[in-house]
Structure 1
Amino acid sequence: MSRTFLRRLRWTSLRLRLVVVFALVALTAAVSASGIAYWLNREAVLTRTQDSALKDFRQEMQNRAASLPLQPSQNELQTAAVQMAHSSNPGYSVLLVGERAKGKPVVGYSNLDGFTLSDVPKRLQDAVGKKQDVGDSNAYAYHLFWQRITLHGKPYLVGGTRIIGGGPTGYMLTSLAQEREDLNSLAWSLAIATALALIGSALLAQAAATTVLRPVQRLGDAARRLGEGKLDTRLRVSGTDELADLSRTFNRTAEALEEKVSHMSAREEASRRFVADMSHELRTPLTAITAVSEVLEEESENLDPMIAPAVQLVVSETRRLNTLVENLMEVTRFDAGTARLVLDHVDIADQITACIDARAWLDAVELDADRGIMVRLDPRRLDVILANLIGNALKHGGSPVRVAVRIEGDELVIEVQDHGPGIPEEVLPHVFDRFYKASASRPRSDGSGLGLSIAMENAHIHGGDITAANAAGGGAVFTLRLPRDPADPADDQEGDRA
């Protein structure tokens, strides 16, 4: 099965819930209607058959059994029973029970269904045999009692009455098999009708769900494309219902979002272009200023003591401005996507030592790294990362700074830990943000606020990451994770072109 079909069938699917609800409503309605129809027809059929048979039996008892003597003979009872059975419509079996002298019963019968006195329920015999108070003992008044029974797995109606004022007791038995067959056929017809109603409701529910959910599905697909950055996504609107209003609202929202993102992108591009242009424009005069400041620095010993501090200030601020311009140019390269890796296999211990030595930090850094750990990376960018992390630790945590190197699976892990006061919890999420300085919690820095963000960008271009945390024993810990053999972006581009 396709993933789309399975998704439509899951229990959380609105389509499935609509179909199930429609089906349950239809099933409830169909079962209720069928049950009521079956019950009404059952009562009507049984009552009609029952009333017809009992009415005929009552009439026959009144016409034939009531004319028998008080103590009829066996032949008289037999003849009357046969006559009653043969004249019955519908046909039924008859038992006539009379009494002779000394209370000995005499039975006459016309047996169509193997009907005997033992088949008559005891409760019915007791009801028929109970003495009735009627006032006029010579009247042919009588009470008729009946009961539905099952004999040999078949349904029957049994009735009984006793002639008031003297005479035989009569019982009749008629089959209800035909009525049961008719009711079974009716039950099957109603069951088939219920099943057809259920199937029809499911098909109608499917059609309704498709009609309702197709616009919702299109809206969901459009929302996903919008979330993927395809801001020109629009829905085709037709109709005037609520779904059409929802589609119009989506189109207006998408249009407003596209316009806002377009304006933001234009402003961002203008800002990037301004920073890049400014960095390039500043670089030329800074080169000249730097050259002059270096000359002044070399001659500072020969200058007037009142002028020497100003010269030193110019030199330091010029270097700081140079660093800021270089960082801004680096940031613009990352933003423009033009930064590239130049990968090489290096001994990580030698690389870290060279970084520390170049900045005269050998006495301030404790290096815990085994030689011979070879990693493929961009040495210049790793130097930038380490310089920013170690320099940041020395500024804010003091010396010594501990640098530990280890290998975890396919990753190179470098931890830089200082012994300062640590990083406040509210500052931790922002330490890699551009131009962010936690000056309220750490000594005031003369940095640009770009060092850690540049370090993070260089880690990302390697396919790695940097995290900041506070050590259990105090101080801040920056953890750099880099793949030991990152993919070369140049190779990926060549592969794409191929």
Structure 2
Amino acid sequence: MRAPSWLPEPVRRVLRPVRRLWRTGALRTRRSTVVARRAWRRSLQVRVVTITLVSSSLLVGAFGLFVATRSADILLSRATADVEARLDSKAQYATTQLRVHRQVFDARLPTTLSDIVQSLSEGDPGQSGGAVVTLRGEQYPNLRPVTLPAVDTSEVISPELVRAIAERGEVAWQVRTADLGEGRQKYLVYGSPVPTRFGQLQLYYLVPLTTEDSAANEIRTTVLITGLVLVLLLGILAALVTRLVVQPVRVAARTAQRLSAGLLDQRMKVDGEDDLARLAASFNQMAENLQRQIVRLEEMSRLQRRFTSDVSHELRTPLTTVRMAADLIFAERDDFDPAVARSAELLQAELDRFEDLLTDLLEISRFDAGFAILDAEPTDLVPVVGRVVERLEGLAERAGVVVEQRLPAEPVIAEVDPRRVERVLRNLVGNAVEHSEGRPVIITMACDDAAVAVTVRDHGVGLKPGEEKLVFNRFWRADPSRARQTGGTGLGLSISVEDARLHGGWLEAWGSPGEGAVFRLTLPLRAGDRLASSPLRLEPVPAGQTEPGDRTEDAPVEVAP
């Protein structure tokens, strides 16, 4: 709520506190609404109790309204019957007394009317309760009405009631509220025609409904209090009943959370033999089976890791012997026949690949066993990239690929393990050269105050949607039918992502069919720091922009093998 600018400054000063109060109230209302919505969504007990309270309130309210209305009607009916019986005898008495008068101009008629009203009032025990008796002739203007007690009854006797009695000769009644000297209260107004020799007069009997109205109010109050107590008890009962059902579910949820956190010995308490007890027993049985299965799988995984490590170590000895013999044969290949010489070259190449595979398997086993150690030291990463490119020059020349380096002119010092970083970059650049389809490969480096990033971009076949996650899986290949030029082991990217994690960094991939792929390595400048963003964006920038310096403010999702 903002004050219009055309208002005078004094008025705007007065409106400022109102504006603040409005904002405060709106904020509190919004917060309360948010809290209520959150409780409604998250708590089954709140929903059940709320629905029970609302439905029971409607039912109890409807029943209470019916009881109160019916009680008031019964009280009014009793009062009407009593007054009607008394009014009938009063009308007969008035008719008997007025028989002596043959015309309305009789001088004794007013005195007779006063005597009749006085007699009717004295003979009625209801007078002590405020009953009023009036005798009048509406069609005779010169005949003054007689009322006892002497009060103004014009507010109580309505024209509709007068027409029904004076014109149609009917016995009629109505309930009116008026003040006749004893405070404003309800009156039951009953009227009856009184036939005489000179015409018809009207007798009105006004009985206060104080007792009946008080009884109806007491009934309504009792019904209201009883209804509120009943609704409250139903709410408490619903809360207790739902708690009996919801509490085991909550315990099961907490137990499931502990199980998912690795606490496999957690179990639910089983009480009784009802459905909830059977649920707890079934849950415990499920947890027991899961624990056995997980322990079995962990044991199998441990045995597999141990088998891989043992086999890798055991193969080292025969591989060394075979390597020595192969080196001797390879050195003397010029003296052999061309077929034997070619076989020696193939043997040397496959031994190199076999040795690389054993090295990667040993490295993977160390990561799986949690024995990998980070030897971090301050390192300039610019020469590291240069060494990687220099070592892969032969592969790039054979593939006809130009490797372009976009590196900072100043040193980029980071606390890293240079051996592991060089291995990661060697895998990324080697894969980019292999899949670039003869197009250029671009290596970009940038840093900020907290992190350093290196992207390797190729313009080859690219990656299909979803393959940017699968590419880090062990032994996964985008196209298994495609011949490899480097003779890799299929474990390079899996080891690379583990090296990045060991540094507390990220290794991510992006690709699009026909547009190539981008791999981004992001490492903290200081060992142990937590990354929040990367100095380089992962997706290629549009044409006309430079890639270094672009930031990705959102922390990326690490792709795990």
TM bracket (short chain): 0.7 to 0.9
Matching residue within 40, 56, 60 for 1:11: 40
The CA distance in 1 between the partners of 2:291 and 2:264, in whole Å, is 5
Shift, 1:275, TM fit? 0.5
Paired residue type of 2:275: E
The superposition leaves residues 279-307 of structure 1 with CA deviations (integer Å, 9 ceiling, x where unpaired) of 00001121222233223333333444442
The superposition leaves residues 388-444 of structure 1 with CA deviations (integer Å, 9 ceiling, x where unpaired) of 111111222246422110125622211112232223446443211101123347433
Matching residue within 428, 433, 447 for 1:389: 428
1:99 to 1:18, Cα distance in 2 relative to 1, 3 A: closer
Alignment partner, residue 96 of structure 1: 135
- Contact residue 156 and residue 177 of structure 2 kept, 8 A: no
Paired residue type of 1:228: A
Alignment partner, residue 61 of structure 2: 31
Alignment partner, residue 468 of structure 1: 509
The CA distance in 1 between the partners of 2:213 and 2:529, in whole Å, is 86
- Contact residue 56 and residue 89 of structure 1 kept, 8 A: no
Matched, 1:452 2:493: yes
Paired residue type of 1:323: D
**How do residues 268-279 of structure 1 correspond to structure 2 at under 5 angstroms?**
268-279=301-312
The CA distance in 2 between the partners of 1:393 and 1:408, in whole Å, is 25
Paired residue type of 1:95: T
Instruction: Please give the secondary structure, in 2, of the residue aligned with 1:487.
Output: coil
Matched, 1:224 2:251: no
Deviates more, 1:34-43 or 1:462-471: 462-471
- Contact residue 460 and residue 514 of structure 2 kept, 8 A: no
Alignment partner, residue 296 of structure 1: 329
Alignment partner, residue 158 of structure 2: 121
- Contact residue 396 and residue 442 of structure 1 kept, 8 A: no
The CA distance in 2 between the partners of 1:465 and 1:455, in whole Å, is 10
Paired residue type of 2:422: D
Matching residue within 241, 244, 254 for 1:211: 244
The superposition leaves residues 63-96 of structure 1 with CA deviations (integer Å, 9 ceiling, x where unpaired) of 2343213436111101100110121132221111
Shift, 1:165, TM fit? 5.5
Matched, 1:401 2:407: no
The CA distance in 1 between the partners of 2:290 and 2:382, in whole Å, is 50
1:255 to 1:11, Cα distance in 2 relative to 1, 3 A: same
**How do residues 329-478 of structure 1 correspond to structure 2 at under 5 angstroms?**
329-360=362-393, 364-370=402-408, 371-397=410-436, 398=438, 400-407=440-447, 410-425=450-465, 427-440=467-480, 442-444=482-484, 446-470=487-511, 474-478=515-519
The CA distance in 2 between the partners of 1:318 and 1:118, in whole Å, is 121
Instruction: Please give the secondary structure, in 2, of the residue aligned with 1:315.
Output: helix
The superposition leaves residues 116-167 of structure 1 with CA deviations (integer Å, 9 ceiling, x where unpaired) of 35641001110101255xxxxxxxxxx4211111113421111111124645
Shift, 1:340, TM fit? 1.1
Matched, 1:242 2:275: yes
Instruction: Please give the secondary structure, in 2, of the residue aligned with 1:11.
Output: helix
Matching residue within 228, 233, 236 for 1:200: 233
The CA distance in 2 between the partners of 1:51 and 1:419, in whole Å, is 104
Alignment partner, residue 496 of structure 1: none
1:461 to 1:7, Cα distance in 2 relative to 1, 3 A: farther
Paired residue type of 2:72: R
The CA distance in 2 between the partners of 1:57 and 1:7, in whole Å, is 62
Matching residue within 149, 152, 162 for 2:193: 162
1:278 to 1:86, Cα distance in 2 relative to 1, 3 A: same
Taking every aligned residue pair, what percent have the same amino acid on both sides? 29
Deviates more, 1:450-459 or 1:466-475: 466-475
Paired residue type of 1:67: Q
How many pairs were matched up?
Answer: 472
1:448 to 1:94, Cα distance in 2 relative to 1, 3 A: same
The CA distance in 1 between the partners of 2:331 and 2:392, in whole Å, is 20
- Contact residue 57 and residue 88 of structure 1 kept, 8 A: no
1:399 to 1:50, Cα distance in 2 relative to 1, 3 A: closer
Shift, 1:182, TM fit? 2.4
The CA distance in 2 between the partners of 1:17 and 1:221, in whole Å, is 21
The CA distance in 2 between the partners of 1:276 and 1:35, in whole Å, is 83
Instruction: Please give the secondary structure, in 2, of the residue aligned with 1:105.
Output: coil
Matched, 1:42 2:72: yes
- Contact residue 235 and residue 251 of structure 1 kept, 8 A: yes
Matching residue within 133, 139, 144 for 2:171: 144
Shift, 1:99, TM fit? 8.7
Shift, 1:488, TM fit? 8.5
The CA distance in 2 between the partners of 1:199 and 1:442, in whole Å, is 75
The CA distance in 1 between the partners of 2:473 and 2:125, in whole Å, is 104
The CA distance in 1 between the partners of 2:507 and 2:368, in whole Å, is 19
The CA distance in 2 between the partners of 1:146 and 1:7, in whole Å, is 53
Instruction: Please give the secondary structure, in 2, of the residue aligned with 1:90.
Output: helix
Instruction: Please give the secondary structure, in 2, of the residue aligned with 1:168.
Output: strand
Alignment partner, residue 122 of structure 2: 86
Paired residue type of 2:193: R
**How do residues 299-318 of structure 1 correspond to structure 2 at under 5 angstroms?**
299-318=332-351
1:191 to 1:229, Cα distance in 2 relative to 1, 3 A: same
- Contact residue 368 and residue 404 of structure 1 kept, 8 A: yes
TM-score by length of 1: 0.88
Shift, 1:455, TM fit? 0.9
The superposition leaves residues 205-226 of structure 1 with CA deviations (integer Å, 9 ceiling, x where unpaired) of 2211221211111111111112
Paired residue type of 2:446: R
Shift, 1:9, TM fit? 7.8
- Contact residue 465 and residue 512 of structure 2 kept, 8 A: no
1:331 to 1:118, Cα distance in 2 relative to 1, 3 A: closer
Instruction: Please give the secondary structure, in 1, of the residue aligned with 2:145.
Output: strand
TM-score by length of 2: 0.78
Alignment partner, residue 20 of structure 1: 50
Paired residue type of 1:149: R
Paired residue type of 1:381: R
- Contact residue 392 and residue 430 of structure 2 kept, 8 A: no
Deviates more, 1:117-126 or 1:278-287: 117-126
The CA distance in 1 between the partners of 2:466 and 2:258, in whole Å, is 36
- Contact residue 75 and residue 108 of structure 1 kept, 8 A: no
Alignment partner, residue 493 of structure 1: none
1:379 to 1:98, Cα distance in 2 relative to 1, 3 A: closer
1:149 to 1:283, Cα distance in 2 relative to 1, 3 A: same
Paired residue type of 2:109: S
The CA distance in 2 between the partners of 1:99 and 1:22, in whole Å, is 60
- Contact residue 136 and residue 145 of structure 2 kept, 8 A: yes
Paired residue type of 1:384: R
The CA distance in 2 between the partners of 1:461 and 1:251, in whole Å, is 37
Matching residue within 273, 284, 287 for 1:254: 287
- Contact residue 365 and residue 399 of structure 1 kept, 8 A: no
1:117 to 1:455, Cα distance in 2 relative to 1, 3 A: closer
